[in-house]
Amino acid sequence: MTDDTRDEFETDDTADVPADDSAEQAAGETGGETVEDLSGESGPDIDASAEAIGEALSELSLDEQLEATRAERDDNLGKWQRSLADLENYRRRVQREMDESRTYQVLPLARDLLPGLDNLQRAIQAAESNEAAADLVAGVKMVVEQVIGVLARYGVEPIPAIGEAFDPEVHEAIQQLPSDEHEPMTVLQEVEQGFRLGDRVVRPAKVIVSMAPTDSRSPADEPAAGSGDLDGETSEEN
């Protein structure tokens, strides 16, 4: 290798070293510019958000914020209490409807059985005058008592009538009879037996009630007032 060739290689090596240094410096400058650029772009956005939050908080004082929170708390408490009351009322209404359904579910059946019971009682009344049918009447009476007992077991009970004061809620008057022995509007006779189920009337009792007796004498039969005195005066004058 000649001296000229060695000098060229050394010149090339020496030229490469500054190139590396200049690359590092360029990279450093570029990296610094990138960091500065990124920090410059994100910084204003964060500051703007913080300023907005600060302005919103500064609009209300601490006392106002506390008062607003208390108002919201009271409103939520009131809503919760109303919802709880509505739920309790709903539960009570459902329970009452279920109880009524269980209590009065036998009502249609009782109404359908009563006409047959009436016919049995009429048969007893018609056959009681016949002594030959005494055994038959006794048997029918037992059946009637059994039917009434079954109805009573399900809450269907007879309505008191004879001797009771007339009650339009449970009695149906079909006739009035004058009576000196009873107060007016007293039940004298029961034509058709009535029944009730709890506080509901299955069928009102058909009854005959009393009324105040009327005076049978007519006004023409009563002596005229002062007629005796006039006759006496006339005789004395004669």
Per-residue model confidence as pLDDT tens digits over 149-186: 999 999 999 999 999 999 999 999 999 999 888 889 99
Residue 112 lies in a domain: yes
Residues 62-89 pLDDT 10s: 777 788 888 889 999 999 999 999 999 9
Alpha-carbon distance values, 115 to 87, 104, 146 (Å): 44, 19, 15
Give the DSSP H/E element, type plus range, for residue 192: strand 187-192
Residue 100 lies in a domain: no
How many domains, in total, are found in the chain? 1
Residue 101 lies in a domain: no
Q: Which domain holds residue 146?
A: 107-214
Residue 150 lies in a domain: yes
pLDDT at 2 over 50: no
Amino acid (1-letter code) at residue 36: E
Residue 39 lies in a domain: no
Residue 200, domain CATH: 2.30.22.10
**Strand ranges inside 105-170, DSSP E:** 156-158
Residues 29-67 pLDDT 10s: 444 444 444 444 456 677 777 677 656 656 667 777 788
Residue 177 lies in a domain: yes
pLDDT at 9 over 60: no
Q: Which residues touch 204 (CB under 8 Å, ≥6 apart)?
A: 159, 170, 171, 172, 194
